[in-house]
Structure 1
Amino acid sequence: MPLVGVAANRLIDDGVHREWVRRRYIDALETYANVEIVILPTRSTDDIEGSRRVVARLDGLVLTGDESNVSPEYFLHANTPRPSPTESTYYRAETDPYRDMMASLVLSAALERGLPILGICRGLQELNVFFGGSLYEDISLETNMLTHKEDISLPRDRQYDPVHEVTVQDGGKLARILGGNVPIIVNSLHNQGIRILAPGLQCEAVAADGLIEAASVSSTGIFQMGVQWHPEWHAADDVVSRKLFAAFGNACAAFEGKRQGDPV
């Protein structure tokens, strides 16, 4: 069974550092992608070789969502992380430079190996920043944009219900996965988003206000894609989510088969 690395986040509570990831990601990946999971801890050092050794054991990579925002200053256009953040720069629920550092390290190694990659919400934004794109820091401050944040007056489960339409781009990789370019309805729980798409990515889906809701690495036929919505939350009831996870799982299985067939 393919082994997939799932990005964790750094939580600091009462001065104690913790790694955490929501169970929904693990459940959806195990059930609908049919993969085994290993959690990738955040890093606070430039351990490039250590990240490469870990990624060398994987058949796929998932960059999860989180309440924290991406800090573009922790990435260089040369795909190399900046020096490690200090604890004084860290503010919970605003930024997570430890996650930013880890994402840049594992993305570099995963792309070098040609691993299947699935980015979800923050993960899509990390892909875009890594390749040199830019983000809206707060979409709610932009005029003529949809409301992309969740309604916090609703029960938590209902905050992940579908709320707006997304148009899948004709002839793209996502369209092939879903069986066409018909509009889909997605949930929306983010305040950052893609402002300028990175030159190394291609748009796969767009919202009515023009915001890019899915993008893929344009230089490869491998599944290396990010989506702005959360397919993991109601995957059991959503065929689009199940198709997305299944396609990622199939890509990971194909990578595993190729890796096992490589000469030692």
Structure 2
Amino acid sequence: MKLPEASAPTERKPVVLIPSCNRMVGEHPFHIAGQKYVQAVRLAGCLPLIAPPTDAHSLPELLALADGVLLSGSPSNVHPDHFGEAVLDPTLPLDPERDALTLPLVRAAVAMGLPLLAICRGLQETNVALGGSLHQAVQEQEGMADHRAPPGQPPQVAYAEQHEVEIQAGGRLAALFGAGQRVAVNSLHGQGVKTLAPGLHIEALAPDGLVEAFSVRNASGYTLCLQWHPEWLAEQNPVSMAMLRDFGAACQAYRARRALGLSPLSNPKVMHAQPQ
């Protein structure tokens, strides 16, 4: 009997870590990640790997598996202890286990040039990890709009386009879409950037002046942090797909460098930066 010929090996996809959220389901603790974020990684041409909390000693081993990181949105907020404030509204959910993983992970990923795409809570924790602070209630700030989702609405309404952002010059979004362009986004959040961390470049602004996107100016690798949700119905949104492909290409390039035994230049100042 003639055996079938072995197929040619296919190129392995880049692995993208998605740090989990941590939630009780009934009386049992679960590590979870939203399906739309997993699908976004797949649309970027990468392989998603959900990462639960780990200790500081295991973080380098976890990062050694990765060719990129996607920080997802979440109902939970970054604990304000990390930027020197007390909790403003104790009814809002927190996730200290996620904070314990993502804040050092952000600093390590940026320092080692590991591509980073951060969405909503991910933008907020990146800013905090690198030394910035947050408004705990954007809607209570003078001159700021209410960026929260309409209450009690189904996802197709909550994630509909809410306002435009203006793309700023000199960044990754300007290279993709053009400086000064306005893009309608589905931005829905209660917290937002208060003080931008040192070394960050503003990529896009909301009409009320709130920072809606930033990157790390002198990072040796890809970084893009978005306050809105490009993962929502991404296949139907050319802007979202352009950003996901850009991220995927960066992860592929990182993987290729690793295969050749090369690594991006590290930035120890970022690695050891501490939040306020």
- Point out the more displaced range, 66-75 or 132-141: 66-75
- Distance, in Å, in 1 between the alignment partners of 2:91 and 2:252 is 36
Deviation at 1:199, TM superposition (A): 0.7
- Distance, in Å, in 2 between the alignment partners of 1:227 and 1:116 is 14
- Distance, in Å, in 2 between the alignment partners of 1:35 and 1:243 is 15
Deviation at 1:181, TM superposition (A): 3.4
* 1:56 alignment partner in structure 2: 64
What is the correspondence of 1:1-264 to structure 2 with a 5 Å cutoff? 1-31=13-43, 33-43=44-54, 47-74=55-82, 93-220=92-219, 222-262=221-261
Contact 2:107/2:130 (8 A) holds in 1: no
Deviation at 1:171, TM superposition (A): 2.4
Deviation at 1:92, TM superposition (A): 8.5
RMSD: 1.9
How does the TM-score come out when normalised to structure 2?
0.84
Contact 2:103/2:128 (8 A) holds in 1: no
- Distance, in Å, in 2 between the alignment partners of 1:60 and 1:212 is 24
Contact 1:74/1:101 (8 A) holds in 2: no
Change (3 A) 1:251 1:55: same
Deviation at 1:53, TM superposition (A): 0.6
Q: Which amino acid aligns with 1:99?
A: R
Unaligned runs of 5+ residues in structure 2 are 1-12, 85-89, 263-276
How does the TM-score come out when normalised to structure 1?
0.88
Deviation at 1:40, TM superposition (A): 0.8
Q: Which amino acid aligns with 1:208?
A: P
Change (3 A) 1:181 1:243: farther
Structure 1 runs, 4 residues or longer, greater than 6 Å off: none
Point out the structure with max Rg over C-alpha: 2
Contact 1:72/1:129 (8 A) holds in 2: no
- Distance, in Å, in 2 between the alignment partners of 1:204 and 1:54 is 29
Q: Which amino acid aligns with 1:56?
A: A
- Distance, in Å, in 2 between the alignment partners of 1:169 and 1:255 is 26
- Distance, in Å, in 2 between the alignment partners of 1:242 and 1:179 is 16
Contact 1:75/1:104 (8 A) holds in 2: no
Unaligned runs of 5+ residues in structure 1 are 77-90
Q: Which amino acid aligns with 1:204?
A: E
Deviation at 1:253, TM superposition (A): 0.2
Aligned-pair identity in percent equals: 37
Contact 1:8/1:41 (8 A) holds in 2: yes
